[in-house]
Amino acid sequence: MSAPSSVRGLGLPAQVKQAREALLALLRDADPRAAAWVEDIRRTRPKLPSVVVVGETNRGKSSLVNALLATPGLSPVDADVATATYLAFAHAEQWAAQACYPGQLAPVAVPLEELVRWVSASHELPEGQLPPRYVEVSGPIPLLERLSIVDTPGVGGLDSVHGELAMEAAANATALLFVVDASAPFTSTELQFLRNMGDRVETVLFALSKTDQFRGWREILEADRRLLAEHAPRFADAMIHPVSARMFEMAAKAPNEQAAAMLRERSGVAQLQGALQELLVGRSAMLGEANTLRALSSALGEQHTKLLGERRALSSGEAEAESLRERRDVLTAERRSSTRGWQLKLRGEIQRTRVEIGHEGARQMRDAQAHFRQRIDAAKRDQLAELPQQVDLALQSISHQVSVALAERLNQVTNVALAELFSAEELDVIRAQFARAGGPPVVLRPPDKRPPTAEDKLLVFMGVSGGVGAGKVAALPLAGVAILNPVVLPATIIIGLGAGWWMARTRRHAADKQHLKQWLVESIADARSTLDQLVAEQLIEAEQQLSLALDEALGRRIDAIEAELKEVDKAIKMGAQERAKQLAVVGKRLKEVAEGRDRAEALLARIRTLRDQG
């Protein structure tokens, strides 16, 4: 089903829409249940793009977020805000906030007036509460009806562990809003961060903040453009929006509407709001369509395999029947055997994964310990109090990287196990069955809940939503991300020190370098032990569930072969004229399905190219 000439002249969104409608119509005729599954995916896709706000310390990120949301003071403006805690803003009819502990504890309601106590290092948490992974704030803000915003306030700068966390968050958002200020051009660490982001982030916008405080901001703007062109050419053409959050806030106190309108205009905030919406809303819809196209391609692949079987049945007769019986017997024997080769292969791959992940985690822990020992030696006395929080961030970053590696390896294990059991043709059917099952083959459980104690060195969070270490960022719209792999196994492990700032307050002797080194060794040893234990538990659970899923896939394939045998028996009993007529019908449908799948894959490739170009 190649695109008609009338379609080729249309833009990509129109081509995607026409292809989606045509392919859905084709699928409805072939398999109404599969078509209903695709339509359900389209109905439930994420509707909103997400924007992650990052930047160096004291660049005015939170002030700008408050201005964008037209709600002064909503995101706490505090140089000591804890970098490990993200603020995620979403739309709701009524104001509400909750501290979230994904995969571990139920959310805790947070009064808005106490928000700063939950996210700021310079404030005490309410008595008896644990530090959250993120805080979700929702309210009747018009902008949030069209996009969601994540504020990543920072301590330590983009050359520290905070930079790694910011990079992880940004890489999973629809767009990154990078905030610099008008006091000076890009720093070397900011440029390095952007270079590192070059192949990981889809879209970047820049905000040049505090333009009301520096008369020479236009010269800084031009210097920033030159630096981007020279050191981060991937973003050389990105928009840089001059803004003043303070001027926007002053508009609310203006003596009359004319003065207020002038201040709002000069603040540049409205222009940035418009740019975000114009750039992201349409693109998010396109990436959402990519998920629909991927589902269509998967469903059409299944139909293609079934039609090939029908054509063989009509063409080969008894030879095809004998081939199917042999395949059925082989799969039945595999399923019944006590020494199943595929299960041994699966167990071997799981053990190899455990060794590889363990080595990688141990290496990163050793590197972190060496790094922080050097930091302790070089730190002044007033800098020592900040180090526990930096260790906390480092462990979160390491655990996220281990989590990503574990998820990738489990996907590889799945593919190895599937390839051991099924032919490439059969895999089209099996993967489509996995996809329609409503979830991946393996859904890992969270750890058993245990009450924390004051002496705990580690607070472990293990999410099972398949997201990143930033917690809420995992739940943000990731339209288009899942279009590359039809079998996905989520495995997210997040480990932190249970709030470095809490430990810095309760362990006063940590101000002494020798005691801090001892604390570092003990804490990282505990972290490594906990990480090893969690990985082992995840892999045991994964092996059990994957074995069950593959056994079920064998059963389904055997049932499908039985159904094909019945069709072959019917074909054998047909007369030559009737068989020829049926062959023509199947051949026509096979051609349409193959062309339809190729069309979906071609559009997916174009969408990926658009995404990669940012």
Is 213 among the domain residues?
A: yes
Is 429 among the domain residues?
A: yes
197-206 per-residue burial string, b: 16 or more CB within 10 A, e: under 16: beeebbbbbb
Are 237 and 142 contained in the same domain?
Answer: yes
Are 391 and 247 contained in the same domain?
Answer: no
Question: Measuring CA to CA, how many Å separate 192 from each of 213, 224, 396?
Answer: 26, 14, 21
Task: Give the β-pairing of 175-181 and 459-461.
Answer: unpaired
Are 225 and 358 contained in the same domain?
Answer: no
Is 162 among the domain residues?
A: yes
Which of 267, 288, 320 marks a domain boundary? 267
The CATH number linked to 183 is 3.40.50.300
Is 7 among the domain residues?
A: no
Prediction pTM value: 0.61
What would the pLDDT profile of 338-377 be if each residue is shown by its tens digit? 556 777 888 888 899 889 888 988 898 898 889 888 888 8
Tokens of 210: 């505090």
CB-neighbour burial class of residue 42 (10 A; exposed 0-12, middle 13-18, buried 19+): middle
Are 245 and 347 contained in the same domain?
Answer: no
Mean pLDDT for back-to-back runs of 10 residues, the chain (614 residues): 52 84 92 87 74 83 89 72 70 91 77 84 74 85 89 62 62 78 88 74 84 90 92 85 91 86 90 85 70 85 85 78 85 74 81 89 88 85 73 72 75 78 76 61 43 33 28 29 33 41 40 77 82 82 80 83 82 80 89 92 80 54
Dihedral angle at the C-alpha atoms of 496, 502, 508, 514, nearest 10 degrees? 10
Domain count, the chain: 2
Residue 138, domain extent: 50-267
Which of 267, 298, 318 marks a domain boundary? 267
Helices 12-30 and 32-44: angle between axes, nearest 10 degrees:
140
Contact residues for 204 (Cβ-Cβ < 8 A; gap 6+): 175, 176, 177, 178, 194, 197, 235, 238, 614
Are 345 and 251 contained in the same domain?
Answer: no
Are 260 and 397 contained in the same domain?
Answer: no
* pLDDT value, residue 383: 74
Q: What is the DSSP letter of 406?
A: H
Beta strands in 413-462 (DSSP E): 459-461
Are 383 and 507 contained in the same domain?
Answer: yes
Are 211 and 360 contained in the same domain?
Answer: no
Are 368 and 452 contained in the same domain?
Answer: yes
What would the pLDDT profile of 394-412 be if each residue is shown by its tens digit? 776 677 677 767 777 877 7
Which of 238, 267, 296 marks a domain boundary? 267
Are 346 and 486 contained in the same domain?
Answer: yes
Is 27 among the domain residues?
A: no
Is 138 among the domain residues?
A: yes
Is 202 among the domain residues?
A: yes
Are 262 and 363 contained in the same domain?
Answer: no
Is 40 among the domain residues?
A: no
